[in-house]
Amino acid sequence: MTETTSTIVPAYLGCLDVPLTIHKRRWRSVFVTIYCSRAFQSFFPSVSDNNGFKLDQKTLTQLVKDKRLDRLQELGGFEGVASALKTDAAHGVCSNAEDVAHRLEAFGSNTYKIAAAKRFFHFVWEACQDLTIFILIGCAALSLALGIREHGLREGWSDGGSIFLAVILVISVSAISNYRQYREFDKLSKVGSNLQIEAVRNGKSQQISTFDIVVGDVICLKIGDQVPADGLLLEGYSLEVDESSMTGESDHVEINQSQNPFLFSGTKVVNGYAQMLVTSVGMNTTWGEMMSQISSDTSEQTPLQARIRGLASSIGIVGLLVALSNLIVSKIYYFTGNTKDKHGKKEFNGSRTKVNHIIMAMIGMVGTAVTIVVAAIPEGLPVAMTITFCYAMKRMMADKAMVRKLSACEIMGSATTICTDKTGTLTMNQMKVAKFWIGEKPVEEAYSSISSRLLSLIQEGVAMNTTGCASRHISGSGFEFSGSPTEKAILSWASLELNMDMERLKNNSVIQDVEAFNSHRKRSGILIKRKIDNTMQVHWKGAAEVILAMCTSYHNASGELKDMDDDAKKILEHIIQGMAASSLRCIALAHKEVSAEEQVDPEHKTLLKDNGLTLLGLVGLKDPCRPGLKKAVEDCQHAGVNIKMITGDNIFTAKSIATECGILKPEQDTISEAVIEGEQFQNYTPEERMQKVDNIRVMARSSPSDKLLMVQCLKQKGHVVAVTGDGTNDAPALKEADVGLSMGMQGTEVAKESSDIVIMDDNFASVATVLMWGRCVYNNIQKFIQFQLTVNVAALVINFVAAVSASKVPLTAVQLLWVNLIMDTLGALALATDKPTKELMENPPVSRTEPLITNIMWRNLLPQALYQIAVVLTLRFRGNTIFGVDDKVQDTLIFNTFVLCQVFNEFNARKLEKKNVFKGLLTNKIFLGIIALIIILQLVMVELLNKYADTERLNWGQWGVCLGIGAISWPLGWVVKCLPVPQKPIVSYLEVKIYKNSS
């Protein structure tokens, strides 16, 4: 590099070889100095300061990305990198705003540039792809052409132009609804990605947002965490990560300081715990590069939406067939001389009829067919679906449930079984030490009576064998505790009651090896070396019966060491069962002093001694049930949903909690195998599992694989299964379930990503609320389908009968579009905003195979449709005589009566089965406001927009008659709901008949 520089500089100086003044010499000296400094900087970029830091971002990124151990050593190892980033590995960075801002400026923020969001016009284009829109556009074009041909441009554009306007309105409403839904999902995803993680700043552990992480931060990782940035392992034990999101390989990768200390953003911790030094954040990480190329797709179509769109298309096709039939019949009538003009003469007289008259007659027939098609197409159905889901998502978020997958809303309404965790879901997850036993005697308040040696061992075991932390508050008064609820409860008890000094105990020992707690082994262990005498100590902590099986001796209340014979073991087992029966979680502490040789296997790997231990004590943790839990469980059971508790606690604790919250009834306790253990369930044959799975109410000492097996068995038996989970190992069960419900507060990121809905407050009552919302969504959509089909059936039959019998339709295309679009869009909003009621929990779950249009809906809609058909056709053929009005006013009466029938029928649609349709009406102000708006808009249509709506003004008496006819829908609806309906769907009768005929 030096030679290159020396050849470059003289080349530039050669051109300056002329007589120079002193000023010119100084100028040349400055030029050479600047050039040389820039040349040297270009060869040594890594040693130049980066806003005061000794390492630049490129060096840090390549260090981790390429896993360069040699480069790490060149930079001074972990201490060298930490020093270059102005970080204390033990105390972390300073948390003052100035230092954080300086790091943000130098290395960027921990946020990602996402792909461009979909714009509004994307949803406009999507809305235009609908089949019904194509049909309407075709109808509008035909109507426009026919109108101009018949009446000229000035008068003839109104019908076709109005249909085009209606099409634009349909597209706009649909696009706006879908765009709002997209924005809502985007907002929810941002909430979901704003995670909290534990960081060490100013020597204190604290929770910070992942968005606030900066380069140089020291981050604490535990099982289930998602690594929030790229970095290096500072210290950790048994650390394994799942890098499948980065590499696609499912094998877990071991992370250690000697061979592989590199951690990547987006990977998941599956075992162990650690502290990492952040070296890259945001777009400078490998995960950031991947995320920038991914756009989240929120255009998911749920099964119900697919069925609705299929229904709308089918109705549209029926309308086309009816319109085609009408066109054929009309032509036959016309060409056979069966149609007459307004003077009573035949319209077609063979060769004497002018071609122009024939063309005009054909145009009229096509116009009538277009009107029938418009009457048939249910434009409001897709819009109603979008509005319903959008409203439900927003309301569920307010009720502490964040929807990650739209289909989960509707599937939850069909749930027949909920498999729930205990801790944090049924209980408050606020652990507190309620009992402590040493040997065979309980220790109440007098902890000072414990022998000093035994007390020291207990303090050492609690302080060292934990993933939590106990530190004095910055003010000096009181303690701050971090970790899981169980860890915090034990640390709090040891610090406050046993006077444990955690910092001193940690400084007195060196950790040699760790076995992190996991849900399979239900224990954690640690091997430490005391600095004072270099002795090796093993401490174990875990489920009482698991630790007890590892012990051969125990300390009595006086601190004396005693052998654990069979009698002593039975007494201790009885104590554990007694605590469990009192709804206490029982944790055991055990210890052994070992020689260094005992801890190394033939392959020179460190092993934790897990036999021949001495029991130090039994700790009973109380976790109270959540308020209102029993009522929520009863509501679910009353709604035909089975609740099964799946927990890692022992069988006595599980049975006690299940009985307390109502999952297990006193009489069920005696039923064989209503309460089982996970191992017992695993040992069943597949046939035995299928036979007994329905009767199981509680599964204790279960592992995640037991939960997965339970879900699979239930699904095979035809159940729709919802599962709650919070741990990393719950991910398979959450994915396998029909609806996965993760916990927002205690749940790991792996669990949340595997779930469909996140319960933000970890409360089972919120799970019951989600169940109610799922049923509400389905129920609201059924209400609207009933309302919409009543309109479509009535309008289709009215126009077809009138067209065939009188060659003229009573409802114009514009009027029908007004009814179908404006009323039904507003009607969808009115019916979609009905909130969940307790009545929904009185019915059994909706079967997935149940028809979308039930017998109850057919019973409700057909009489209303027949009533409207009878009224409108009576007005059509006898209106002039009855009211003594001309044709124009008669057509307006028909239109106004038809619309008001829909307004009154919308009240009937509020309740599919209940006769009292006004119950809870005053609490739904949106519904009342929309009804008032529809009536006002109808007034405008009839009284002001006469030219475009083809109407005449009505007097007060005529308005009263229209209102009276519409109001008859209420008593008719009450009478109809008294009629019984068969349980077997009507469609099934048709299928049987078709099958018999085909066979």
* Catalytic residue positions, numbered: 421
Helix (H, G, I), strand (E, B) or coil at 761: coil
d(CA 911, CA 927): 13
Asked if residue 416 lies in contact with residue 845, where contact means CB atoms within 8 angstroms, the answer is yes
- HSE, CB side, 13 Å, CA atoms: give it for residue 266: 20
Structure tokens at 484: 């899981």
Tell me the Ramachandran region of residue 968: left when phi exceeds 0, alpha when psi lies from -120 to 50, beta otherwise: alpha
Helix (H) or strand (E) holding 200: strand 196-201
> Which residues, other chains included, contact 474 with Cβ-Cβ below 8 Å and sequence gap of 6+?
204
d(CA 979, CA 985): 16
Helix (H, G, I), strand (E, B) or coil at 234: strand
The pair phi, psi for residue 655, each rounded to 5°, is: -65, -40
Asked if residue 570 lies in contact with residue 527, where contact means CB atoms within 8 angstroms, the answer is no
Q: What's the CA angle centered on 736, arms 733 and 737, to 5 degrees?
A: 85
Q: Which residues of 332-369 are buried (b: 16+ CB within 10 A; e: fewer)?
A: ebbeeeebeeeeeeebbeeeebeeeeeeebebbbbbbb
- HSE, CB side, 13 Å, CA atoms: give it for residue 334: 21
Q: What is the DSSP letter of 819?
A: I
Q: Per DSSP, what are the bridge partners of residue 722?
A: 418, 739
Closest to 406 (Cα-Cα) out of 389, 418, 391, 382:
389
Q: Is the dihedral of CA 684, 688, 691, 692 positive or negative?
A: negative
Structure tokens at 276: 């990492």
- HSE, CB side, 13 Å, CA atoms: give it for residue 922: 0
Structure tokens at 799: 């126009």
Hey, what amino acid is at 647?
T
Beta-strand relationship, 642-646 and 698-700: parallel
Helix (H) or strand (E) holding 757: strand 757-759
Q: Per DSSP, what are the bridge partners of residue 330?
A: none
Q: Per DSSP, what are the bridge partners of residue 220?
A: 198, 275
Q: Which residues of 849-861 are buried (b: 16+ CB within 10 A; e: fewer)?
A: eeeebbbebbbbb
Q: How far is CA 162 from CA 201, 320, 613, 812, in A?
A: 66, 20, 87, 11
Sheet-wide strand order for 698-700: 401-403, 757-759, 739-743, 721-725, 417-420, 642-646, 698-700, 675-677
Structure tokens at 364: 């009229």
Asked if residue 931 lies in contact with residue 905, where contact means CB atoms within 8 angstroms, the answer is no
> Which residues, other chains included, contact 210 with Cβ-Cβ below 8 Å and sequence gap of 6+?
110, 193, 194, 195, 196, 197, 228, 229
Asked if residue 700 lies in contact with residue 657, where contact means CB atoms within 8 angstroms, the answer is no
Q: What are the strands, taking DSSP E only, across 493-583? A: 509-515, 523-530, 536-543, 551-555, 561-563
Asked if residue 703 lies in contact with residue 685, where contact means CB atoms within 8 angstroms, the answer is no
Q: What are the strands, taking DSSP E only, across 295-409? A: 401-403
